[in-house]
């Protein structure tokens, strides 16, 4: 029977570390690290995410500014807000909550964020740095998964990792990070011919798809580590991941639950990234 990796506990630990680092930053530079979040419109899920980030900042000693703009805000106005935050010396991290309303070019907005303040790591320059392995910030969910594996003491070098999902947000950057850990990597997607066969090879099986029970028990190799990034809402309102948890936990050595697995790690890593961006900016100024 698999050991459950407790993401809630691990995230709390990471947030406590971020709080210590934020306090260190404040002692050294006389101000708290600062995160600015822009939200356009009233998408209820986005509002919950933004509220959670704001609360996490408060608990970590990071000053957070939420800029709420009406749903009919134009691209020009949004770009001007981003430009102002790029220039603001108190703002170390900028996050534009997605999705944006129709009519606003997401790529244009992401590209407008100063790369040094891009704590979501969406800017193409930062994505390029991630590809080359020469980076300060890694995207929050992928780096949260890596942190979970590290802190659980999972050996990655030389092991077969199968990444199911190749989105720019999760699958692709996480695949890069696993490759950097010297895993032998397979990336699967909707056009993969025999997903079961691929998954059964995995020592470390990671799913980021968004389909309940896509990964069934017979797709899990005995002793594999199973990381479930998927978040799906079922008809009865409950949450589940991509993995058939009950079946997979009988075969896996370690497994993450949903909820309480990867989910809480994302905001914790955002706290880390904000503090990291703050230190990097100040250290650059001092040079």
- Looking at the annotation, which residues are catalytic? 53, 97, 120
Which residues have C-beta within 8 Å of that of residue 264, sequence separation ≥ 6?
7, 8, 10, 11, 12
Q: Which stretch binds ligand NDP (CB under 6 A): 33-41, 100-108, 121-129, 260-268?
A: 260-268
Among 18, 32, 56, 164, binds ligand NDP (CB under 6 A): 164
Q: Please say which residue, 175 or 281, places its beta carbon nearer to ligand NDP.
A: 175
CA atoms of 104 and 74, how far apart (whole Å): 7
Among 14, 257, 263, 270, binds ligand NDP (CB under 6 A): 263
Geometric angle at alpha carbon 150, from 123 and 1, rounded to 5°: 125
Least Å distance, CB 12 to ligand NDP, is 16
User: Binding string, 123-142, against ligand NDP, x = CB under 6 A?
Assistant: ------------------x-
Told to check if 256 binds ligand NDP by CB under 6 A, we report no
CA atoms of 122 and 230, how far apart (whole Å): 20
Least Å distance, CB 114 to ligand NDP, is 23
Among 78, 146, 188, 248, binds ligand NDP (CB under 6 A): 188
Q: Please say which residue, 85 or 240, places its beta carbon nearer to ligand NDP.
A: 240
Using CB under 6 A as the binding rule, the residues of this chain from 189 to 248 that contact ligand NDP are: 189-192, 195, 208-211, 214, 229-232
Q: Please say which residue, 3 or 189, places its beta carbon nearer to ligand NDP.
A: 189
Other CB atoms within 10 A of residue 131 CB? 14
Q: Please say which residue, 28 or 189, places its beta carbon nearer to ligand NDP.
A: 189
Q: Which stretch binds ligand NDP (CB under 6 A): 67-75, 86-94, 130-138, 165-173?
A: 165-173
Whole-angstrom CA distances from 154 to 83, 145, 172 are 42, 11, 21
Strands (E), the chain: 3-4, 34-40, 63-69, 93-96, 160-164, 184-188, 204-207, 225-228, 232-233, 239-240, 254-255
Cα R_g (the chain), whole angstroms:
19
Q: What are phi and psi of 234, to 5 degrees?
A: -85, 170
Least Å distance, CB 66 to ligand NDP, is 19
Percentages of the chain per state (helix, strand, coil), in multiples of 5: 45, 15, 40
In this structure, are residues 133 and 181 in contact, taking their beta carbons and an 8 Å threshold? no
Q: Please say which residue, 181 or 266, places its beta carbon nearer to ligand NDP.
A: 266
Least Å distance, CB 197 to ligand NDP, is 13
Told to check if 255 binds ligand NDP by CB under 6 A, we report no
In this structure, are residues 109 and 96 in contact, taking their beta carbons and an 8 Å threshold? yes
Q: Please say which residue, 35 or 170, places its beta carbon nearer to ligand NDP.
A: 170
- By rule CB under 6 A, what count of residues binds ligand NDP? 26
In this structure, are residues 165 and 189 in contact, taking their beta carbons and an 8 Å threshold? yes
- Where does this chain bind ligand NDP (CB under 6 A)? 141, 164-167, 169-171, 188-192, 195, 208-211, 214, 229-232, 262-263, 266
């Amino acid at each position: 029977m698999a050991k459950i990796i407790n993401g809630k506990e691990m995230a709390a630990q990471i947030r406590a570390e971020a709080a210590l680092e934020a306090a260190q930053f404040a002692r050294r530079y006389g101000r708290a690290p600062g995160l600015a979040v822009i939200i356009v419109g009233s998408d209820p899920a986005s509002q919950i995410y933004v509220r959670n980030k704001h609360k996490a900042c408060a608990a970590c000693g990071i000053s957070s500014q939420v800029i709420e703009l009406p749903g009919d805000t134009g691209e020009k106005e949004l770009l001007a807000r981003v430009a102002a935050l790029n220039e603001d010396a108190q703002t170390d991290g900028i996050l534009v909550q997605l999705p944006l309303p129709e009519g606003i070019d997401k790529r244009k907005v992401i590209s407008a964020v100063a790369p040094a303040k891009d704590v979501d790591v969406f800017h193409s320059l930062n994505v390029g740095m991630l590809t080359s392995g020469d980076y300060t910030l890694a995207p929050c969910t992928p780096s949260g998964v890596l942190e979970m594996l590290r802190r659980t003491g999972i050996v990655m070098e030389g092991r077969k990792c199968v990444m199911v999902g190749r989105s720019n947000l999760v699958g692709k950057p996480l695949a890069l990070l696993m490759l950097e850990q010297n895993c032998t990597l397979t990336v699967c997607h909707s056009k993969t011919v025999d997903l079961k066969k691929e998954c059964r090879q995995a020592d470390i099986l990671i799913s980021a798809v968004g389909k309940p029970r896509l990964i069934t028990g017979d797709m899990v190799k005995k002793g594999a580590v199973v990381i479930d990034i998927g978040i799906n809402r079922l008809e009865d309102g409950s949450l589940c991941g991509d993995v058939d948890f009950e079946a997979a936990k009988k075969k896996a050595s370690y497994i993450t639950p949903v909820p309480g697995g990867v989910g809480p790690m994302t905001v914790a890593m955002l706290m880390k990234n904000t503090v990291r961006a703050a230190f990097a900016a100040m250290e650059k100024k001092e040079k």
